[in-house]
Amino acid sequence: MDIEKVNSMDFGEFVDVFGNVIERCPLIAAAVWSQRPFSDLEDLKKHFFAFIDALPQSGQEGILRCHPDLAGSELRRGTLTAESQREQSAAGLTSLGADERLRLAELNAQYRARFGFPFVLAARFSDRAAVSRELARRLLCPSAQELRTALGEVKKIGSLRLADLLRADPAKL
Amino acid sequence: MDIEKVNSMDFGEFVDVFGNVIERCPLIAAAVWSQRPFSDLEDLKKHFFAFIDALPQSGQEGILRCHPDLAGSELRRGTLTAESQREQSAAGLTSLGADERLRLAELNAQYRARFGFPFVLAARFSDRAAVSRELARRLLCPSAQELRTALGEVKKIGSLRLADLLRADPAKL
């Protein structure tokens, strides 16, 4: 898909295509549509990120709370979004042994209790061993720093999803 | 459900229960959770509305763009949220004749083209004749006024949905 195609979309099409760039926050794609036309992928990305950065802290925490746990109950129940399912699968989280799953569940619960939002990580850059390690490490970080780190991961995930969507037809880039 | 029950919810439960108070914007419920504890229904409502009012205009338009058309393609395809389905049904929009449906589809399309968001109305306060009349009337309003009117309807819808949820067990109110 090229940027002219993106710029020609009405808001219904735009939200259908970009609604999950930020996990379960179609509101953000729907807001970004107001900023069209976009000059390229970087410009589109910039508008998604600017919207996130301009939210009050409660809104930024809200974005994080719309994310599923890694290797959590939604993966087991099959209710993940298609994008999350692919990303968790790429990190090997769909084939954990019982012990590893339990260990991650305990760490996820501690993290949620400590920070008031779930542990978010761009899983595609990771693997199963690194996920636990990183979760254990970030559990010890100060809250303000951890909010920044987690939003950075939201942006990495969004960048990868946007790049996937715009590169769907590589001949056009 | 009483307010103590609401205040005892972790963010996962809260988003499950209140995630569609603002249509398809679980981000807003997830942000509002940061403001707990709530003193009563009015207080909870106040935090939902304050979040909407604090958004930049693009975000407010984004909320509107997450709403379905009244008597539109989502009603036909059966992909409305449960709340929207009930509300459109209460206004008689599920049993329109072909002529009425066509007339509404034309007005909806004109409205979307003019304002860049769909026509939003608290359908539970309305009926099929009033919906067309109101749509035809609002189509002629200035843009800035229409954005305010539409957000007022979002708040009416949200108020009714919150009241439904908190009155689910009337013995507890």
In a domain, B172, yes or no: no
My answer on whether B74 and B143 are in the same domain is yes
- Domain closes at, from B62, B85, B105: B62
In this predicted structure, what is the pLDDT of residue A40?
Answer: 96
Contacts of B65 in chain A (CB under 8 A): 11-12, 15, 30, 33
Rounded CA separation B90/B86 (Å): 6
Contact state of A10 with B112 under an 8 Å Cβ cutoff: yes
Cα B50 to chain center, whole Å? 15
Q: For the CA atoms of chain B, what is the radius of gyration?
A: 17
Q: Do residues B68 and B93 make contact, with C-beta atoms less than 8 angstroms apart?
A: no
Estimate to the nearest angstrom the gap between the alpha carbon of A149 and the chain centroid.
Answer: 13
Does a structural domain hold residue B167? Answer: no
Q: Are B8 and B173 in contact (CB under 8 A)?
A: no
Q: How confident is the model at residue B158 (pLDDT cuts 50, 70, 90)?
A: very high
Between chains, do B30 and A65 touch, taking CB under 8 Å as contact?
yes
**Spatial separation of the C-alpha atoms in residues B61 and B148, rounded to whole Å:** 10
Angle between helix A143-166 and A11-18 (nearest 10): 110
Do B108 and B131 sit in the same domain of this protein? Answer: yes
- A146 and A115 together in one domain: yes
Contact A31 B116 (CB under 8 A): no
Whether residue B126 lies inside any domain: the answer is yes
| B141 found inside a domain | yes
Interchain proximity B27–A112, CB inside 8 Å: no
Which residue among the candidates B45, B67, B128, B138 is catalytic per the annotation?
Answer: B67
Using an 8 Å Cβ cutoff, are B7 and B17 in contact?
A: no
pLDDT, residue A170, reads 47
- For residues A73 and A147, membership in a common domain is answered with yes
Question: Contact at 8 Å (CB) between B158 and B48?
Answer: yes
Question: Is B47 a member of any domain?
Answer: yes
Percent of residues, chain B, with pLDDT higher than 70: 97
Same domain, B101 and B147: yes
Tell me which of A36-50, B1-15, B32-46, B122-136 is least confident: B122-136
Blockwise average pLDDT, block size 10, chain A, 173 residues: 96 97 98 97 97 98 97 94 95 92 96 98 90 96 97 97 82 44
Query: How many whole angstroms separate alpha carbon B50 and alpha carbon B73?
Result: 31
Considering B41, B62, B83, which residue would you say is the last residue of a domain?
Answer: B62
Domain residues for B19? 3-62
Q: Are the C-beta atoms of B30 and A62 separated by less than 8 Å?
A: yes
Q: Clarify whether B67 is annotated catalytic.
A: yes
A78 and A146 together in one domain: yes
Q: Are residues A85 and A143 in the same domain?
A: yes
As a whole number of angstroms, the distance between CA A114 and CA A34 comes to 36
DSSP assignment string, A147-170: HHHHHHHHHHHHHHHHHHHHTSSG
Residue B171 has pLDDT above 70, yes or no: no
ipTM: 0.94
Domain containing A117 — which CATH number? 1.10.3330.10
Q: How far is A52 from chain B (nearest CA, A)?
A: 11
B44-102 per-position pLDDT tens digit:
999 999 999 999 999 999 999 999 999 999 999 999 999 999 999 999 999 999 999 99
Of B28, B63, B112, the CB nearest to A62: B28
Whether residue B23 lies inside any domain: the answer is: yes
> Which of B62, B83, B107 lies at the terminal end of a domain, its last residue?
B62
What count of other Cβ atoms lies within 10 Å of the Cβ of residue A32?
Answer: 26
Helices (H), chain B: 3-7, 11-18, 26-32, 41-54, 57-65, 73-77, 82-90, 98-115, 128-138, 143-166
Nearest to A31 among B30, B34, B58 (CB): B58
Are B57 and B73 contained in the same domain?
no
Which pLDDT band holds residue B168 (cuts at 50, 70, 90)?
low
Asked if residue B135 and residue B107 are part of one domain, the reply reads: yes
B128/chain A closest Cα distance in angstroms: 24
Q: Are A94 and A143 contained in the same domain?
A: yes
Number of domains in chain A: 2
Query: How distant is the Cα of A101 from the closest Cα of chain B, in angstroms?
Result: 20
Q: Are residues A111 and A75 in the same domain?
A: yes
- Report the C-alpha gap between A53 and A154 in whole angstroms: 11
Distance from CA of A33 to the nearest CA of B (A): 8
Across the interface, of A33, A61, A112, the residue whose CB is closest to B34 is A61
Contact A58 B24 (CB under 8 A): no
Any domain includes B173: no
Count, residues in chain A: 173
Same domain, A54 and A96: no
* Interface residue of A58, A117, A120 to substitute, partner B, most B CBs within 10 Å: A58
Task: Decide if B77 is inside a domain.
Answer: yes
CA-CA-CA-CA dihedral for B33, B38, B41, B46, to nearest 10:
-70
